[in-house]
Amino acid sequence: MRFHGVVLTAGVIALGACGGGGDKNASTSTPDTTAAAAAAPAPAAGGAAATTTAATAGKSAPITGKTWNVQMIGDQKGYRFEPATLTIKVGDGIKFTNVTGGPHNVAFNTLPAEGADSANAKQLAANMPAQTGAGPSAKIGDLSSPLLTAPNDTYTVSFAGVKPGKYDFNCTPHLALGMKGTITVQ
């Protein structure tokens, strides 16, 4: 049970971060469109994406539809997203929650309308904030979330403004262990 050590460490970090009481923000599995919408990235007011060259490339598109929940799990049965495959609509969002076995992230590797420089890839990158539910954090790459280290930390991706098709994703730390999935956007 090696991952117990990881969980304990993450738990200590979470306790330190929560500090002053009443974690009313604790996420549940119920759909929470408002929270997801609030978590969606604001247009780069802070200038984090200021180096983007194309004027249209850095603008995030907020969730307009349903927010789906995906759990990030590492336990005796292995490392996985649950569900690992889901079908959503353009405008929906997905809220990933670090349940056990973290740190986890979500990184996209295969996109419809191929090419890392495609407008679709830029839109998805813009829809992936450098912030988890726990606060600002560094993205691992344009199409990768920050690491979710603390238990119950969340990360929400908007699929507004992207092209329909299949989006393969994985967890970078656990890719070799098969932690991956596919989102079909209709």
- Name the site residues for Cu ion (rule: CB under 5 A): 104, 171, 174, 179
Q: Whole-number minimum distance, CB 9 to Cu ion, in Å?
A: 15
Closer to Cu ion at the Cβ: 44 or 140?
140
Closer to Cu ion at the Cβ: 62 or 101?
101
Residues 76-98, buried b or exposed e (16+ Cβ, 10 A)?
A: eeebbbeeeebebeebbbbbbbb
CA distances from 29 to 24, 70, 137, 151, 183 (A): 14, 9, 23, 14, 19
Closer to Cu ion at the Cβ: 88 or 171?
171
Bridge-based pairing of strands 131-132 and 78-82 is: unpaired
Q: Which residue is nearest to Cu ion (CB)?
A: 171
Nearest to 60 by CA among 46, 34, 41: 41
Q: Whole-number minimum distance, CB 171 to Cu ion, in Å?
A: 3
31: cis peptide before it, omega within 30°?
Answer: no
Q: Whole-number minimum distance, CB 4 to Cu ion, in Å?
A: 16
Closer to Cu ion at the Cβ: 104 or 139?
104
Q: Whole-number minimum distance, CB 168 to Cu ion, in Å?
A: 15
3-class state of residue 161 by DSSP:
coil
Q: Whole-number minimum distance, CB 186 to Cu ion, in Å?
A: 27
Show the tokens assigned to 119. Answer: 């407008």
Closer to Cu ion at the Cβ: 42 or 175?
175
